[in-house]
Amino acid sequence: MSAFGLPPQASTIAPRVDHLFYAVLGVTGAVTLAIIVLMIVFGIRYRAGSRTRRSEDVPATQARARKRVEIAWTLTPLILFMGAFAWAARIYVVRADAPPDAMELFVVAKQWMWKLQHEGGQREIDEMHVPRGRAVKLVMTSEDVIHSFFVPSFRLKQDVLPGRYAELWFTATQAGRFHLFCAEYCGTDHAAMRGEVVVMEPAEYAQWLNEHRSALDMASRGEALFRQYGCSGCHGENASVHAPELAGVYGKPVPLADGSTVVADDRYVRDSILLPTKEVAAGYAPIMPSFAGQIGEEDILDLIAYIRALAPRSERPR
């Protein structure tokens, strides 16, 4: 436990968040204290019946002094608030920008559990094994309603929304088990939607990955799904249908039929599967059927992993 009963600081960002928290607490505490003291002092000094002059007969020098006081008490809080804003914005930016060498973990939230998948195909529910000292990037989505991924010891909280990918990254600094909560009311068992983040030493983690190795990694599972859902019938090598070639597409700009361009990232691939007529690649007829309601979020992540594996890693967008 750190000061004020806060949970341990178990990620690189945690001390930074705490410093800001203590600074804001200190400033607001000092202001509160000053107000209480002044209230008492003025209450005594200017109590009813005291012979202090009233405002009508304030001399000019005093009016000028008053103006200075007013400017001071307007500027001081402004500077303090802008300072707190800049400080918090800095932490926000650091938090939003995952290092390029971060390992990726995929999270699908649903009522009422956290489903996780590692790139190697290892799957877990309500438990997340990660190595200590390595940046981990989470790609998160929800199967149903809005949830919120909250690890107090990491000082991280991120809403997880259906229909889009939220990203979050952290580097754990302490081995151990840490609470994972859902921090957004999501129905009857919201309170039961919790889990644990298990931070392991790198060697231990490698061993854990090995012990939980699955027959197929995400990309291979995606390849199987690619055939199973019939994607290969049109996008495969020997397809007779005129459909966009997918090899090497991931991470590249895609010209669209409406003249605009998008980068083929996770979001684009997901939307292309579920809302194929939304962004049609230039030069192709909008003939692809929607797979909405037929493919689960986890399968979509596997399909994305497969399409991604068709592109060299250096060309993936960050």
- Binding site residues, ligand CUA, CB under 6 A: 112, 147, 182, 184-186, 190, 193
Nearer to ligand CUA, 162 or 244 (CB): 162
CB nearer to ligand CUA: give 111 or 214. Answer: 111
| Complex with ligand CUA: residue 162 or 233, whichever CB lies closer | 162
- Residue number with CB closer to ligand CUA (78 or 125): 125
Instruction: Tell me the closest approach of the beta carbon of residue 189 to ligand CUA, in angstroms.
Output: 8
Smallest separation, CB 140 to ligand CUA (Å): 12
> 266, 294, 298: which is closest to 124 by C-alpha?
298
Instruction: Tell the smallest beta-carbon distance from residue 210 to ligand CUA (Å).
Output: 31
Q: Minimum CB separation from ligand CUA for residue 143, in Å?
A: 11
Nearest to 15 by CA among 129, 158, 173: 173
Rg of the chain taking only CA atoms, in angstroms = 28
By beta-carbon proximity to ligand CUA, the closer residue of 14 and 186 is: 186
Least distance from C-beta 115 to ligand CUA, angstroms? 12
